[in-house]
Amino acid sequence: MYYNEMFDGDRVRAPYAMLSNWIATMPAEFRQMKQAEAEALFRRIGITFAVYGEGGDPDRLMPFDMMPRVFLQDEWRKLERGIKQRARALNAFLRDVYGRGEIIRAGRVPAALVYRNIAYEKAMVGFVPPRGVYSHIVGIDIVRTGRDEFHVLEDNCRTPSGSATCWRTARS
């Protein structure tokens, strides 16, 4: 079961009216051409992710939908508050597992799940980055499940594909 964000039955939902009119006036060939152009650009500049073990080219294009999601201002305010809260929670979790480990000592998360994880960086133990922000970029995958309902599919707290990190070393 899925929720169609654009339609309420056979009617276009009000927030999508302008987008629906624009789509209706655009020839299908033009949309296909623009999608192909976007995919070619993604491939050229490396907006891809690697999938190993399936054979063939491991580099896959980042999924991309040319049709934007439309949110009412109140919906976005609610989502924004939740997204910011989740970003703070992810950073608090990282601060804890690289610090005091209270969540593990309390038995809420198994120690092996964290400390034996390939992504766990032992060099970070005891290190607190400026303002306690371990991850400046988080991805909160959200889907609309009803007229006023949203569901988080997953939280991503890692350097996303396509982003670059630049470090500058201070010299004394």
φ/ψ of residue 25, rounded to 5: -90, -5
pLDDT tens column, 68-120: 889 999 999 999 999 999 999 999 999 999 999 999 999 999 999 999 999 89
Sign of CA dihedral 107, 110, 112, 118: negative
- Rounded distance between C-alpha atoms, residue 142 and residue 144, angstroms: 7
pLDDT tens for 133-166 read 998 888 888 999 988 899 999 988 866 555 554 4
Length of the chain: 172
For 25-71, write each residue's pLDDT tens digit.
Answer: 999 999 999 999 999 998 888 877 777 776 666 678 877 888 888 99
Give the residue extent of every domain in the chain.
Answer: 1-70
The answer for 129, left when phi > 0, alpha when psi is -120 to 50, beta otherwise, is beta
Query: Which residues are CB-neighbours of 67 under 8 A, at least 6 positions away?
Result: 19, 23
Reported pTM: 0.73
Write the CA distances from 46 to 22, 34, 68, integer angstroms: 30, 18, 22
